[in-house]
Amino acid sequence: MKMQIGGDLVAAKAGATLDVMNPATGEVVDQVPKGAASDVEAAVEAAAEAFPEWAALPGHKRAQLLFAAAAKVREAVPEIAKLLTLEQGKTLRESTIEAERVAANLEYYAGLADKIRGDYVTLADPGTFGMVIKRPVGVVAAITPWNFPLTLMANKVCPALAAGCTVVLKPASTTPLATQRAIEAINSAGFPPGVLNTVHGTGGEIGDALTGHPKVNKIAFTGQTETGKRIMKLAADNVTRVTLELGGSDPCIVCDDADLEKASRAVAIGRFFNAGQACLAVKRLYLFSGIAEQFMKMIAGRAQKLRVANGMTEGAMMGPLHTEKQRAEVEAQVADAVGRGAKVIAGGKRPEGPEFDKGWFLQPTVLTDVPEDSRMATEEVFGPALPIFIVKDLDEAIEKANGSVYGLGSSIWTRDLAKARRAAEHIEAGYTWVNAIQVAHDEMPFGGLKQSGFGKEHGLEALDGYLEKKSVVLSA
Ligand code: NAD
């Protein structure tokens, strides 16, 4: 595959390429251009050149193009989803859901593109009034990780285009294929050349050229907290706006009055969807002591029933982890907990059999008696391993839930409205789900607190992030 700069599908100027590997088999799926600073330069220039005309286009015309792009993506869903499974490892069912989310996101922001409005303000001086006008911020550098390459791309590209911004997108170097295919589908709807560009390559090699470029007006980043901190420092040089969607360690509290059947289903989905590699995964489970034993059995049973397999296999429920490094990291976190006295009540090993030999598979794993100072309790666990902690009441649960540097999502299961309200008010996170699966909705703002970042994706708030407000005073 190629990258798309100024409307053209191009190779890297230096001719270098990157192999994209299949996490289930270790085979090469395809190659993409391995971009360098000169390719970033070309993409940013193309986006900067396209900006004035795109920004001046009436909102309803941008809306028409976004709706047309959604239709093109829907047609290509099977192809995009297959590429995603081959390069990322997730099951084809998960990939299909994700590819469909891109079309839905395009439609959501298409619906808003012609509804961007400013304000009229009365002022003290007679014959004088104020206006607040909204304008697109300019060229956006969108940088995405490998865990949900498509939805995280859409979360940035759709509101940016609706607002009238132009975009240079850099997907993760290990998952460029489905994204590139989706961008080609979007561009095939007729966007002017240069409005939506891609550059492929590793963050270490081209990240600085992109985020430090003086013609980039906004950086929309999703990825690790450490990378986000680096980007924020670099952005300071040009005072470039940033939106940072970073790591998380979401707590889930299950109270003793909860619907345990529904809660255990949600926790299993919340922890094991996408092999646990989700920013919004349930990463720490706090159980009230009265239901702890029963709930542990339920969640262990659900973990054991998940069929681990190559994501292309019919009936696969959980694919491999994305890379060898990712699996090793999760295994080390589990080993650390076990070494400090934790007990494994489900999984804990690599599945055995010839079909697993070349991939980065790990069994869905559940641990109890996990010490509070262990790595699983204090770090982000980005894989299919769930640490369980027992609490005596809601005060203790909230205190422990908040004992993390992260503040992305959180959830509570209870039939008691007072408990739900207290948790919603006091858990330090950008989202609290009450008796609901941790899913980010297009219609609601999503973004973290603390070291999970700042700025919002989804909803009207994401659109605001691509618009600047200017005050105008008119005297006549
Ligand atoms: P990562 O930070 O390693 O990489 C993310 C992207 O940044 C990639 O495209 C990478 O190439 C690029 N990059 C790396 N170094 C860069 C640099 N110096 N300058 C510019 N770009 C650079 O993250 P990852 O391992 O791909 O993703 C997993 C992480 O993302 C987890 O911590 C997860 O919680 C987080 N995440 C957060 C959200 C959210 O919405 N808050 C969503 C999904 C994932």
Which tens digits make up the pLDDT trace of 68-82? 999 999 999 999 999
Q: Whose CA is nearest to atom 30 of ligand 1?
A: 223
Tokens for 19, please give them: 């192999």
pLDDT single digits (tens) 350-360: 999 999 999 99
pLDDT at 56 > cutoff 90: yes
- Number of helical H runs and strand E runs in the chain: 14, 22
Residue 150's nearest CA partner among 89, 96, 228, 204 is 96
339 CB-near residues (< 8 Å, 6+ apart): none
pLDDT single digits (tens) 343-352: 999 999 999 9
SS3 248: coil
pLDDT of res. 476: 81
| E-assigned strand segments in 282-394 | 282-288, 343-346, 365-368, 385-391
pTM: 0.97
Alpha helices in 111-215 (DSSP H): 149-163, 177-187, 203-211
Q: How far apart are CA 191 and CA 182, in angstroms?
A: 14
Ligand 1: centre distance to CA 298 (Å): 33
pLDDT single digits (tens) 287-319: 999 999 999 999 999 999 999 999 999 999 999
Active site residues per annotation = 245, 279
pLDDT at 93 > cutoff 90: yes
Average pLDDT for residues 125-134, to the nearest whole number? 95
pLDDT of res. 69: 99
Average pLDDT for residues 400-424, to the nearest whole number? 98
207 lines ligand 1 (CB under 6 A): yes
406 lines ligand 1 (CB under 6 A): no
pLDDT of res. 22: 98
pLDDT at 13 > cutoff 90: yes
Q: How far apart are CA 74 and CA 104, in angstroms?
A: 9
pLDDT single digits (tens) 262-295: 999 999 999 999 999 999 999 999 999 999 999 9
Ligand 1: centre distance to CA 207 (Å): 11
pLDDT of res. 362: 98
Nearest ligand 1 atom to the CA of 148 is 43
pLDDT at 183 > cutoff 90: yes
Q: Quick check: 150 and 199 in contact, CB under 8 A?
A: no
Q: Which amino acid is at 233?
A: K
Q: How far apart are CA 371 and CA 333, in angstroms?
A: 12
Q: Whose CA is nearest to atom 20 of ligand 1?
A: 207
Q: Quick check: 47 and 167 in contact, CB under 8 A?
A: yes
pLDDT single digits (tens) 415-467: 999 999 999 999 999 999 999 999 999 999 999 999 999 999 999 999 999 99
419 lines ligand 1 (CB under 6 A): no
With the most atoms of ligand 1 within 8 angstroms of its CB, the residue from 101, 216, 224, 237 to mutate is: 224
Tokens for 113, please give them: 């593109």
Ligand 1: centre distance to CA 262 (Å): 32
CB atoms under 10 Å from CB of 365, counted, come to 26
Tokens for 300, please give them: 């262990």
pLDDT of res. 40: 98
Q: How far apart are CA 90 and CA 182, in angstroms?
A: 17
Average pLDDT for residues 364-387, to the nearest whole number? 98
Tokens for 327, please give them: 């699996």
pLDDT at 39 > cutoff 90: yes
Q: How far apart are CA 170 and CA 43, in angstroms?
A: 10
pLDDT at 376 > cutoff 90: yes
CB atoms under 10 Å from CB of 461, counted, come to 15
Nearest ligand 1 atom to the CA of 145 is 26
Nearest ligand 1 atom to the CA of 231 is 19
310 lines ligand 1 (CB under 6 A): no
Q: How far apart are CA 149 and CA 142, in angstroms?
A: 11
Tokens for 66, please give them: 């976004």
Across the chain, mean pLDDT equals: 98
